[in-house]
Chain A
């Protein structure tokens, strides 16, 4: 879910930042600490429950911060800072409407079913609800896309380190991936989660100074706004005011694409069914913690634009030169949008602070990669190996397989990174492949949880047809770019709009096919749906706690703040 094109960074040859020995000490200390945590936890991952679900004993805070941190992939910070320079404050939609409602929905509505069913994974829930074919389709697509995406992110990050610091690409790939492989293989999900929480704190410690110093230089929020309007234009300061028409905003998208495509489908699909993030919440120690974790994650997610979007906007306000696209930057020797965050880092951060800022970037990459490999290991072990290859394995055998899978997953990621290094076009195809599954999977899971009449055949054919329709629309635009005007419903639509509307249509296809096929097939007995579907499941009452400890109270608080933010930045 990032917005930069790192492949083109290879065209750049200059080094943006020069590290001092103090900075290197901070970076080395970070690597030592994450490995120490992995070693400390290696004796705590002996059973399947320990290795794959961290013993289901995490507090709401730890599960919630880890849930958010696993999403802070390799280029999250730099990518969205670049997007905010390119598109203005519109980029914040991906943090607010593109995340907050979905996270609250996961906590209050969906988490009880995931948690009560005691599933190890999202494909595991599909097996319980819709049978083996749906699980097989979902698990194979998830497992392979996850390690491929991990490899692409690894390559992208190595490229970024080369451009920012002048580090050798091979050095960055091997050092970071071996470190992740060691600490996840040793301590399983618990080690991944502990390190993700540490990485989350370091990201904030390293990145927070940029907006603080930037606002001082720009003259506060009012000074920032005045300078952005002067240098970029009024449209860069509004989140909704320019969304009435696709040609009135820098992103070229209508508000329906953001609300229905991004808010209702893509973000719901990502935050509620992508096992990479859901796995963290499944590790919570009780149902109330499992419901609170995504809400805590949502509260922090609302704050992330402060360290990601604001630096991009500050780039317009304080940098003495204008940033451009990659091609123009390479031709003119200037700087591109993608370099806005390191430029701001180098602008304000001296020795020590610079090391912490670079550590924040590395931590973002490693938390995303650890999320990928731990989710891959779980889905491979339980939903592919345990379901199709070795059905009656012991718990010990599955843990052993999980450890090996972690290492194999990292090796495949490294292989993908080298493949992408030589064939850049693969990157676009794999990123597109990943997007094919998210929206239809959300359609299948949400109908499975909320509609008793949905049948096994309905679930499978809905998921398959939704995915194929997404592939079809993508291929249509590839072959005939003018088709975008039909899919995105506007002649002014741009690339970003295509993703929103393709997700929306493929989700609708999935839902319609699921409903039609379900009505054509025999309904499942209610006894088979207990613990899986709303209306057939008795949700356990939460223990008696004060109102301010209840998830629903904090969900309302988060949603009220979310609405206020939309009004402030309208």
Chain B
């Protein structure tokens, strides 16, 4: 159990909440990025450097990081 939760008998670490936040945001951004990959907006409505598809890789990074935090700090793992 991490010491930020130990003394108060809490079972959910702050890092688990952060994991949820990153995971959900990452999945949404990744999904929006993939949608734009296959259904690109008109050229005059695209962001600068659209060809790099930042939403896809940045969303994936956030989702993977969030998933790791959710797993590592899951209440079932941190509770003894």
A residues bordering B, Cβ < 8 Å? 20, 22, 25-26, 29-30, 33, 37, 40, 44, 50, 55, 57-59, 62, 194, 197-198, 201-202, 205, 209, 213, 216-217, 285, 318, 346-353, 355-356
Contacts and interface: CB of A to CB of B under 8 A. Distances in A.
Contacts of B7: 55, 57, 285
B21 A349 contact: no
Given A26-B29, A198-B17, A353-B29, 7 more contacts: A40-B12, A57-B3, A201-B22, A285-B3, A350-B54, A352-B55, A355-B28
Interface in B1-55: 2-4, 6-8, 10, 12, 14, 17-18, 20-22, 24-25, 28-29, 31-33, 36, 41, 46-50, 52, 54-55
A3 B20 CA distance: 34
A44 to B, nearest CB: 5
B53 to A, nearest CB: 9
Nearest to B30: A352
A213 B55 CA distance: 12
B10 to A, nearest CB: 7
Given A37-B17, A57-B3, A213 B54 contact: yes
Contacts of B41: 350
Instruction: Identify the interface centre among A26, A194, A352: most chain B CB within 10 Å of its CB.
Output: A352
B9 to A, nearest CB: 9
A22 B52 CA distance: 20
A217 B48 contact: yes
A30 B47 CA distance: 24
Give the contact-size bracket for chain B. 20 to 34
B47 A348 contact: yes
Contacts of A29: 21, 24-25, 28
A33 B16 CA distance: 12
A57 to B, nearest CB: 4
A57 B4 contact: yes
B60 interface: no
B6 A57 contact: yes
B62 interface: yes
Contact of B32 (A33, A346, A352): A352
Given A33-B17, A198-B17, A216 B52 contact: yes
Contacts of A25: 28
| Interface SS majority for chain A | helix
A209 B58 contact: yes
Nearest to B5: A57
A198 B3 contact: no
A381 B61 CA distance: 44
B8 A44 contact: yes
6 contacts: A25-B28, A37-B17, A198-B21, A202-B25, A209-B54, A348-B48
Contacts of A348: 47-49, 54
A24 to B, nearest CB: 11
Contact of B55 (A50, A194, A216, A350): A350
Contacts of A197: 14, 18
B55 A353 contact: yes
Contacts of B46: 350
Contacts of B59: 352-353
Instruction: Identify the interface centre among A44, A350, A355: most chain B CB within 10 Å of its CB.
Output: A350
B4 A26 contact: no
A370 to B, nearest CB: 14
Nearest to B10: A44
Instruction: Identify the interface centre among B22, B24, B32, B50: most chain A CB within 10 Å of its CB.
Output: B32
A263 to B, nearest CB: 33
B43 to A, nearest CB: 14
A362 to B, nearest CB: 13
Contacts of A318: 48
A37 B12 CA distance: 10
Contacts of B48: 213, 217, 318, 347-348
Nearest to A44: B8
A57 B8 contact: yes
Contacts of B18: 197-198, 201
B1 to A, nearest CB: 12
A238 to B, nearest CB: 28
Contact of A351 (B14, B36, B62): B36
Instruction: Identify the interface centre among A50, A198, A355: most chain B CB within 10 Å of its CB.
Output: A198
Contacts of A209: 54, 58
Contact of A356 (B6, B25, B47): B25
B21 A22 contact: no
Given A352-B32, A353-B29, A59 B22 contact: no
A564 B31 CA distance: 41
A353 B7 CA distance: 38
Nearest to A346: B47
Contacts of A198: 14, 17-18, 21
A353 B17 contact: no
A350 B47 contact: yes
